[in-house]
Amino acid sequence: MNTVTNTTRATARSLDGVSLHFLIIGGGPAGYQAATYAARLGAKVTIVERDVFGGAANLWDCIPSKTMIATGGAMSFSRRLQGMGLAQAAPEVDIESLTSRVQGIQHELNDDIKQLLQSQGVTMINGTARFTGPNTAEADGPDGTRTIEFDAALVSTGSRPRIPDWCSPDGDRILTTRDCYPPKSFPESITVIGSGVTGVEFVHMFSSFGAEVALVVSRQHVLPGKDPEVAGVLEDDFIARGVKLLKGARAETIERDDETGGVVVRCDDGRVVRSSHAVLAIGSVPNTDGLGLDAAGVETDDWGYIPVNHHCVTNQRHIYAAGDVSGKLPLASVASMQGRKVAEHVMGLHTVEHRHLDYDKAASAIFTEPEIADVGLAEAEAFSSGRKIRVTKVPFATTAKAHINNDPRGFVKIISDPATGVVLGGSIVGRHAAELISVIALAVTANLKVSDIYESLLVHPALSEALAEAAE
């Protein structure tokens, strides 16, 4: 390969007066947020991305899965048209236009992010980077190899779907999540392996498109770690839709079935499931291999994640890690916030008054039907720690808007401190839960009281009225 040596050196000054060249490896939510903030604060920033600016886990998983779920949601809504006073209609999937919808959104976001980086004067390199020393790295790209010297660096290389050694995805019938947006052939039936957040979203996605779905659940209920009441609501919905739940089973092999052209999944308890497709949703692995972390003296844990302190600093004080690779909460929203906090730290802003990143206050949502969202302290967590809490729960069916929407499913639950009224957490199950949780998330972050919610003049008719009622 043609080798170009292009050494970049510091020109900017951070707030504490140190000249700073900031190298970022990985252009996902963590990387591009850190890049734009640090550049805005005056750093000279270089960002290296090997696949897609915007992030592979973000643009090849998070965004397309939500796009497909939105289309599936439109299909399942069309099955309830009669309840809206309309004649029933039966839409069909148009794979070509669905593919171009998914790709169109991906390209638009990718372009927006590149323009944003460009507008902040960030140097973008398309290539694969690796450390060659504590202050040097190399990036291999279409223009050859570039050597980069840096004063501070951020590793934000994300994660990829975990592929176990007992299965070889073929991108046709045995799929990883990234083969599903949409799959080459649309499944008549599909077995989803793994019942974490990804698994249940894929069950919802394929069943709303009309596929017959089986779910291999390694524990006794879906969504381990989530509020059991919330997981129960989802399981009831799955069962009502005809989803087959194989509880307490772990998949051991997935093979092509020569007779049917489909697949056979065998579980460790002897159960066997046949379907036209299977998809692995058994978690992710961090992208830390081949990064030259040893050369930079950066340590990883036994699973390949990079341990960091509360400022996202690794064991090397000038090297940071953020996003999935840091082994913290693997969410795009968290990755972005970590990236922003890293930029502030690298430019010395942590010495002035600032808010620490608190992972316990991260809101998250599961894009199923019903939608599920939560933030802060969970009821089960409070009970297990013996903490006194006040729990108020209001079903959406009490609001006029739920009936107008022809969808009275779900509820709002707010958890507060009985002595002070401070909002500690909450969960929402039902339509627009991912949007509505923002009110509780703001209350949790800003230490607001339940009275701050119920004394706000909210819109009528709206689902948020259930929030105000739960706060009262």
Ligand X SMILES: Cc1cc2nc3c(=O)[nH]c(=O)nc-3n(C[C@H](O)[C@H](O)[C@H](O)COP(=O)(O)OP(=O)(O)OC[C@H]3O[C@@H](n4cnc5c(N)ncnc54)[C@H](O)[C@@H]3O)c2cc1C
Residues annotated within the binding site for NAD(+) are 194-201, 283
Query: Does residue 73 belong to the site contacting ligand X (CB under 6 A)?
Result: no
Sole window of 239-247, 293-301, 323-331, 404-412 interacting with ligand X (rule: CB under 6 A): 323-331
Q: How many residues bind ligand NAD (CB under 6 A)?
A: 24
Query: Does residue 156 belong to the site contacting ligand X (CB under 6 A)?
Result: yes
CB of 133 to ligand NAD, least distance (A): 33
Query: Does residue 195 belong to the site contacting ligand X (CB under 6 A)?
Result: no
> Degrees (nearest 5) of the Cα angle 81, 82, 84?
65
User: Which option in ligand NAD, ligand X, none does residue 282 bind, with CB closer than 5 to 8 A by kind?
Assistant: ligand NAD
CB of 445 to ligand X, least distance (A): 16
Which pairs from 242-245 meet CB under 8 Å and 24+ separation? 242/207, 242/212, 242/213, 243/203, 243/207, 243/213, 243/214, 243/215, 244/213, 244/214, 244/215, 244/273, 245/214, 245/215, 245/217
* Single residue of 23, 174, 335, 448 touching ligand X by CB under 6 A: 335
* Single residue of 72, 323, 370, 426 touching ligand X by CB under 6 A: 323
Annotated binding residues: 66, 157-159, 194-201, 283, 324
Q: Which tokens is 19 given?
A: 């000249």
User: Which option in ligand NAD, ligand X, none does residue 199 bind, with CB closer than 5 to 8 A by kind?
Assistant: ligand NAD
Query: Does residue 139 belong to the site contacting ligand NAD (CB under 6 A)?
Result: no
- How would you classify the pairing of strands 19-25 and 12-13? antiparallel
* Single residue of 36, 71, 123, 157 touching ligand X by CB under 6 A: 157
Query: Does residue 350 belong to the site contacting ligand NAD (CB under 6 A)?
Result: no
CB atoms within 10 A of CB 465: 20
Which residue in 169, 176, 170, 141 sits closest to 53, CA to CA? 141
Backbone angles phi, psi at 312, to 5 degrees: 65, 25
Query: Does residue 152 belong to the site contacting ligand NAD (CB under 6 A)?
Result: no
Q: Which tokens is 456 given?
A: 């706000």
Measured CA distances, 190 to 65, 165, 176, 199, 391 (Å): 16, 21, 12, 12, 39
Query: Does residue 366 belong to the site contacting ligand NAD (CB under 6 A)?
Result: yes
Each residue 370-409 as x (binds ligand X by CB under 6 A) or -, in order, gives ----------------------------------------
* Single residue of 12, 20, 48, 205 touching ligand X by CB under 6 A: 48
* Single residue of 330, 370, 426, 430 touching ligand X by CB under 6 A: 330
Query: Does residue 56 belong to the site contacting ligand NAD (CB under 6 A)?
Result: no
Nearer to ligand X, 62 or 245 (CB): 62
Q: Of 310, 354, 403, 460, which is the active-site residue?
A: 460
Sole window of 96-104, 282-290, 446-454, 456-464 interacting with ligand NAD (rule: CB under 6 A): 282-290
- How would you classify the pairing of strands 284-286 and 159-161? antiparallel
Q: Which tokens is 374 given?
A: 């939560």
User: Which option in ligand NAD, ligand X, none does residue 26 bind, with CB closer than 5 to 8 A by kind?
Assistant: ligand X
CA dihedral 351, 135, 34, 305 (to 10 degrees): -100
Residue 460 known to be catalytic: yes
Sole window of 271-279, 306-314, 328-336, 420-428 interacting with ligand X (rule: CB under 6 A): 328-336
User: Which option in ligand X, ligand NAD, none does residue 335 bind, with CB closer than 5 to 8 A by kind?
Assistant: ligand X
> Which residues carry out catalysis?
460
Q: Which residues in this chain contact ligand NAD in the complex, by CB under 6 A?
A: 193-199, 201, 216, 218, 224, 250-251, 281-284, 329-331, 364-367
Q: Which residues in this chain contact ligand X in the complex, by CB under 6 A?
A: 25-31, 48-52, 55-58, 61-62, 65-66, 128-129, 156-158, 177, 198, 284, 287, 291, 323-325, 330-333, 335
